[in-house]
Amino acid sequence: MRFLEDHHVQAQNLFEALPCGAALIDDHGVIGDLNQHLADIAGYPRGDLVGLDVRVLMPPRQRDAHFAQWMDCVDQWRTAEESLGEDLNILQRDGHEIPAEFAFSRLTLDDRPWIVMEVRDKKVAHAVPGAVPSTGGHAHHSQTELAASLADSERRFRLAFEGSMAPMVFSDRDGRFLAVNGAFCRMSGRSKDELMGSDSKHFTYPDDIGISEAAYDLIQSGQVDEYRYGKRFLHKNGRIVVAEVSICAARDQDGEAAYFVSSVRDVTEERALAAQLSFQALHDPLTGLANRALFDDRLVQARSRAVRDEHLGAVLLLDLDDFKGVNDSYGHLVGDQLLIEIAGRFRQVTRSTDTLSRFGGDEFLYLAEGLATRAEAELIAHRLLQTLEEPFTFDQVTLQQRASVGIVVWNDDSMNNVELVQNADAAMYEAKRQGHGHVTMFTPQIGHEAVSRFALVQELRQALTSGEVVMHYQPIVDIASSNVVGFEALMRWHHPTRGWIPPDVFIPLAEQSELILELGSFALKQALTAASTWEVTDAAAGVPCVTVNLSARQFHDPGLVTLLEVELERSGVQPERLILEVTESVALVDIAETMNIMEELNRLRIGIALDDFGTGYSSLSYLAALNPRIIKIDQSFVRPKHDKNRSDTLLEAIVTLGNKLNMTVLAEGIETSAQLDRLHHLDCELGQGFLWSPAVPVAEATEMLLTLLGD
């Protein structure tokens, strides 16, 4: 029933539940709606009667008289509360007439007057066993119940409309509000008086004006029956309300949209949450910069544009120099704050067409688009580095930070995202080799070297298990007596095709991965195994010690102490014979952690040698706190290349300092008798260098030990 469907579903159900035919008739005698019972009595398809004059159901010979009675009924309806019952015949569609009982009552829906007409087929009613013939009183009772039920339905509809938590609106063909509920008023921040009779344009977000009007046009034109769209409203307090609107039309008997019903859902918080989740999925949580996923997507688009527009593009990989030292010295909270500050400075010089991303850890990726020359990419790199020139100060900490930059430039799509970033990484690695704060442009040669380094790391991993990596031992000599008092264990790699590969080539490669821990463990095991075979032939000389170099990764590895305990027990070597060598830069990066490690080593009775002394931080206050067993003087002081007088002065100062602090002083790189005499004169206790021997295999070291002790 179209009218009731459009207005009140509950009323429709009541209409259908009536045991008789029923119709809604306007005051001009036009059928607005009817139930299936009446359609069956008249023999018409239900939809064919809607919109027709009620006289179509009256026999022609009685039509005028009956219609006059109808108009009397209408007049009486206008002034009286009582229903009016009349006996009439129904003209069926096939021309047959059947006697029927008619009853009329009034009803108001949406302030519009209607007549409810009930129709009973007399033959059916009288044929039902036990049925009581209909009378005016009975009709009046039924009509009154129907009117009351429909009125009750109207009240329930109003209650549901007003009490709905969902904002709802009835509007006319021009979008003007006919009715709004309280939820819509609250959503818009306006009262019913402010809304009624106006449309939504005056509180629609300016960019969204026209969206609702377009929806009205689609529905009125018959292209769609209902439509859903999103738009933004302006709350009276100025807040933007994001809404989803579902709109449909109530149509008249001609199928035209009579008015519109809109259900509105406030999705402001939902959209804000979705935007937040989307942002989090594509941005780094610490700095707010684009993450790798967003960077990759932008890079794909940039490569397509570069080909289309015939421009150059570039990827810059920036890696902070010595950032680990910040975390180790001041903690990760300060490190995170530094990353945030650096990201902020980089963002300030990022072009609007470019993308700045945090690649992870202390690395940043920069995507530059629309470049005319390769030099422009270098200018961008230097502009980024210039932002780091001013020191960073926070939490009473002042830090100077630098970075190294690798650049790869492209003008086609011959390389994919992974290759571009790998090439930028290779260029950045080369920049770091040149020193801090450098910028390097990727070249095929750099790429070839990067591939070679990668292959070398893989081969080094295999070499550990194939016997290619071995330990050699360089003697440590008592300068006064020339007795061998120990050996420094040094790693050597003999490649099957490349020959001997220097440690300063493969050790830095291993330090970039967990492989450095495997190498360190291998060196410790081999050195202690060798030391366990050295015998004492001269009681005065004592048992030779062995020194093993530790990388920064191994020195700070939580498993170091356990490894030492296990290997000392396995080898049977006394802990006092083991000396661990660390550089100043490793020991003094995080003095608190270093002191904790030193306490553990002292507990195990393992000594520490401070390597390359004089070339690192050389903090004298920390030197006293660490109290290493041995200070190893760097060879640059023993055989200086420049300003020999100044170096001799520094050498004398270091030896004197060590002796005053009761630390053993060991000079490295001794190659001549003159150098030896000079150190002996300065009262330097130990020395090592080619004057006695280079590092040799364990068998030769053992033979050397026996020979020297025998002498």
CATH number for the domain harbouring residue 690: 3.20.20.450
The pLDDT score that the predictor gives to residue 8 is 46
The pLDDT score that the predictor gives to residue 395 is 73
Please count the structural domains in the chain: 4
Question: What digits encode the pLDDT tens for the residues 238-258?
Answer: 999 999 998 988 777 677 887
Greater confidence (367 vs 450) lies with 367
Three-state DSSP string of 203-218:
HECHHHCCHHHHHHHH
The pLDDT score that the predictor gives to residue 143 is 52
Residues 528 and 636 in one domain: yes
What average pLDDT score do residues 273-292 get? Answer: 85
Residue 71 has pLDDT above 80, yes or no: no
Give the domain-ending residue among 374, 407, 442: 442
The pLDDT score that the predictor gives to residue 307 is 80
Report residue 139 as tokens. 């009709």
Greater confidence (652 vs 252) lies with 652
Give the domain-ending residue among 385, 411, 442: 442
CATH number for the domain harbouring residue 296: 3.30.70.270
Residues 26 and 152 in one domain: yes
Residues 438 and 523 in one domain: no
Give the domain-ending residue among 224, 239, 272: 272
Residue 13 has pLDDT above 60, yes or no: no
The answer to whether residue 278 sits within a structural domain is no
Using alpha carbons, list the distances in angstroms from residue 381 to 372, 393, 427, 432, 708: 15, 23, 13, 14, 58
The count of residues in the chain is: 711
The answer to whether residue 284 sits within a structural domain is no
- Give the pLDDT band of residue 269 (cuts 50, 70, 90): confident
What average pLDDT score do residues 185-205 get? Answer: 91
- With beta carbons less than 8 A apart as the criterion, state whether 144 and 105 touch: yes
- With beta carbons less than 8 A apart as the criterion, state whether 538 and 709 touch: yes
Q: Minimal CA–CA distance to 7: which of 127, 118, 153, 119?
A: 153
Residues 462 and 608 in one domain: yes
Q: Minimal CA–CA distance to 18: which of 113, 135, 119, 91?
A: 119
The pLDDT score that the predictor gives to residue 690 is 93
The pLDDT score that the predictor gives to residue 223 is 86
Q: How far apart are CA 409 and CA 419, in angstroms?
A: 12
What average pLDDT score do residues 348-357 get? Answer: 94
- With beta carbons less than 8 A apart as the criterion, state whether 580 and 547 touch: yes
The pLDDT score that the predictor gives to residue 650 is 85
Residue 589 has pLDDT above 70, yes or no: no
The pLDDT score that the predictor gives to residue 511 is 81
Q: Which of the residue ranges 130-134, 355-359, 360-364, 390-394 would you say has the lowest mean pLDDT? A: 130-134
Q: Minimal CA–CA distance to 589: which of 640, 634, 626, 537?
A: 626
The pLDDT score that the predictor gives to residue 409 is 94
Q: How far apart are CA 673 and CA 480, in angstroms?
A: 13
The pLDDT score that the predictor gives to residue 151 is 59
If one counts every other C-beta atom within 10 angstroms of the C-beta of residue 258, the result is 14
Greater confidence (212 vs 108) lies with 212
End-to-end CA distance of the chain: 122
What average pLDDT score do residues 474-483 get? Answer: 92
Q: How far apart are CA 24 and CA 1, in angstroms?
A: 10
Cα Rg, the chain, nearest whole Å: 48
What average pLDDT score do residues 637-653 get? Answer: 80
Instruction: Please name the amino acid found at residue 589.
Output: V
Residue 76 has pLDDT above 80, yes or no: no
Residue 81 has pLDDT above 60, yes or no: no
The answer to whether residue 279 sits within a structural domain is no
The answer to whether residue 450 sits within a structural domain is no
Residues 422 and 562 in one domain: no
Residues 149 and 172 in one domain: no
Q: What percent of the chain has pLDDT over 70?
A: 83
Q: How many helices (H) and strands (E) does the chain have?
A: 28, 27
The answer to whether residue 221 sits within a structural domain is yes
- With beta carbons less than 8 A apart as the criterion, state whether 247 and 261 touch: yes
Q: How far apart are CA 690 and CA 129, in angstroms?
A: 130
- Tell me the CB-side half-sphere exposure of residue 502, using CA atoms within 13 A: 2
Using alpha carbons, list the distances in angstroms from residue 338 to 381, 393, 710: 19, 9, 60
Residues 297 and 190 in one domain: no
The answer to whether residue 282 sits within a structural domain is no
Residue 128 has pLDDT above 70, yes or no: no
Instruction: Please name the amino acid found at residue 553.
Output: R
Residues 308 and 421 in one domain: yes
Residues 472 and 340 in one domain: no
Residues 554 and 679 in one domain: yes
Residue 124 has pLDDT above 90, yes or no: no
Question: What digits encode the pLDDT tens for the residues 663-673?
Answer: 999 999 999 99
Q: How far apart are CA 73 and CA 333, in angstroms?
A: 89
The mean pLDDT of the chain is: 82
CATH number for the domain harbouring residue 118: 3.30.450.20
The pLDDT score that the predictor gives to residue 5 is 42
The answer to whether residue 607 sits within a structural domain is yes
Residue 44 has pLDDT above 80, yes or no: yes
The pLDDT score that the predictor gives to residue 453 is 76
Residues 15 and 129 in one domain: yes
The pLDDT score that the predictor gives to residue 512 is 73
Residue 136 has pLDDT above 80, yes or no: no
**Structural domain harbouring 337:** 289-442
Q: Model pTM?
A: 0.51
The pLDDT score that the predictor gives to residue 138 is 46
Residues 438 and 463 in one domain: no
- Give the pLDDT band of residue 535 (cuts 50, 70, 90): confident
The answer to whether residue 280 sits within a structural domain is no
- With beta carbons less than 8 A apart as the criterion, state whether 387 and 346 touch: yes
- With beta carbons less than 8 A apart as the criterion, state whether 32 and 150 touch: no
The pLDDT score that the predictor gives to residue 83 is 41
Q: Which of the residue ranges 243-257, 480-494, 678-692 would you say has the lowest mean pLDDT? A: 243-257
